[in-house]
């Protein structure tokens, strides 16, 4: 089974406005609500690609109920840990520029932390766990590390999509995949990544710290897949950017969905790039047909 874990999910309230006038009344021309959070995005894309998965994490209140009902309608399995406070709301304001205001997140008790952790202890080498997103302010700062260590002990394939200290701390537990962008990669080594060559150099240094596979997103310049056997570069297809939310999560979902079915890392990389691009060119997360339409445009170059 593939599990996703979203510790700080959200209800994403997307508001489209022609021109925002600060300090004045603005009227939306279009609004929409979506279940949000990086792991939840991964679950939604996996389901769209025909891959059964189970969503884990913390939800609470009427906003948490919206998330569980939305995922149920999409046929996504759930085993959320219920908390007392409402799940946060993130506001995505789309105008001439895109602005986000993210809620802080619910307070998570130690008992609820342990309740979620117990679910992870039952996973085996047959399972994949995707840890994605930020930590709620109240949660133990080493919670990702604790989960990663448990996965390592049980030989669970786990993917980590986060940044900063939380990412650094899980690296010795040998995650199957991590996905920093070029800025996050630079922050880990206190350098600025300004070329593909630099990204390869520091991506390979990152491999020395434990992960099996590293995907480095270079934005419009493509992406890299690095492991002990290969360094590969992929371009990104051309298209109109409509949605920056969820593209990276779609990349992870596309990669994992392909890999669990075919076991080919290069094909999984290509599939992931197509998924991320398809979401970027859509108003919501990608579907299988939009992904497959982009596959012929993606070329993989082996760098070593």
User: Can you give the CATH number for the domain in which 302 is found?
Assistant: 3.40.1190.20
pLDDT digits (tens, 9 = 90+) for 246-277: 889 999 999 999 999 999 999 999 999 999 99
% residues pLDDT > 70 (the chain)? 100
Closest CA to 143 of 116, 163, 119: 116
pLDDT band at 51 (very low <50, low <70, confident <90, very high): very high
Residue where a domain terminates, one of 124, 146, 168: 146
Same domain, 33 and 133: yes
Amino acid 112: pLDDT = 95
How far apart, in whole angstroms, are the C-alpha atoms of residue 170 and residue 221? 28
| Domain coverage including residue 289 | 176-304
Residue 151 lies in a domain: no
Q: At what angle do helices 247-262 and 38-48 cross, to 10 degrees?
A: 50
**What pLDDT is stored for residue 161 in this prediction?**
92
The whole-model pTM stands at 0.92
Q: Are residues 141 and 7 in the same domain?
A: yes
249 catalytic? Reply is: yes
Number of compact structural domains in the chain: 2
Could you count the other beta carbons within 10 Å of the beta carbon of residue 95?
14
In a domain, 13, yes or no: yes
Q: What is the pLDDT of residues 66-91, one digit of tens each?
A: 999 999 999 999 999 999 999 999 99
**Is residue 33 scored above 90 in pLDDT?**
yes
Please check whether residues 48 and 96 belong to one and the same domain. yes
Q: Does residue 161 sit within a domain? A: no
pLDDT confidence band for 235 (50 / 70 / 90): very high
Given 12, 127, 161, 249, the catalytic residue? 249
Query: How far apart are the C-alpha atoms of 289 and 295, rounded to whole Å?
Result: 10
> Do 124 and 240 lie in a common domain?
no
Residue 153: pLDDT over 80:
yes
pLDDT category of residue 105 using cuts at 50, 70 and 90: confident
Higher pLDDT: 10 or 244? It is 10
According to the model, what pLDDT value does residue 254 have? 96
Do the domain assignments include residue 155? no
């Amino acid at each position: 089974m593939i599990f996703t874990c979203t510790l700080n999910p959200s209800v994403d309230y997307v508001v489209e406005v022609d021109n925002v006038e600060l300090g004045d009344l603005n009227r939306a021309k279009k609004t929409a609500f979506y279940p949000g959070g990086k792991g939840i995005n991964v679950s939604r894309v996996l389901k769209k690609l025909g891959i059964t998965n189970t969503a884990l994490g913390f939800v609470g209140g009427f906003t948490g109920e919206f998330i569980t009902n939305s995922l149920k309608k999409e046929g996504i399995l759930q085993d959320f840990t219920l908390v007392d406070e409402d799940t946060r709301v993130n506001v995505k304001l789309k105008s001439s520029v895109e602005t986000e205001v993210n809620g802080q997140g619910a307070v998570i008790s130690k008992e609820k932390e342990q309740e979620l952790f117990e679910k992870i202890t039952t996973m085996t080498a047959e399972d994949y766990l995707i840890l994605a997103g930020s930590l709620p302010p109240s949660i133990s700062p080493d919670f990702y590390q604790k989960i990663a260590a448990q996965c390592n002990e049980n030989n669970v394939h786990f993917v980590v999509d986060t940044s900063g200290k939380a990412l650094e701390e899980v690296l010795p537990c040998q995650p199957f995949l991590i996905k920093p962008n070029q800025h996050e990669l630079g922050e880990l080594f206190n350098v600025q990544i300004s070329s593909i060559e630099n990204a390869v150099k520091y991506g390979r240094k990152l491999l020395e710290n434990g992960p099996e596979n590293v995907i480095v997103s270079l934005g419009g310049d493509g992406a890299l897949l690095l492991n002990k056997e290969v360094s590969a570069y992929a371009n990104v297809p051309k298209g109109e950017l409509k949605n920056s939310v969820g593209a990276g999560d779609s990349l992870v979902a596309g990669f994992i969905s392909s890999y669990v079915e075919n076991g080919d890392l290069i094909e999984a990389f290509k599939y992931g790039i197509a998924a991320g691009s398809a979401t970027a060119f859509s108003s919501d997360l990608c579907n299988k047909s939009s992904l497959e339409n982009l596959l012929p445009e993606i070329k993989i170059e082996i760098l070593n």
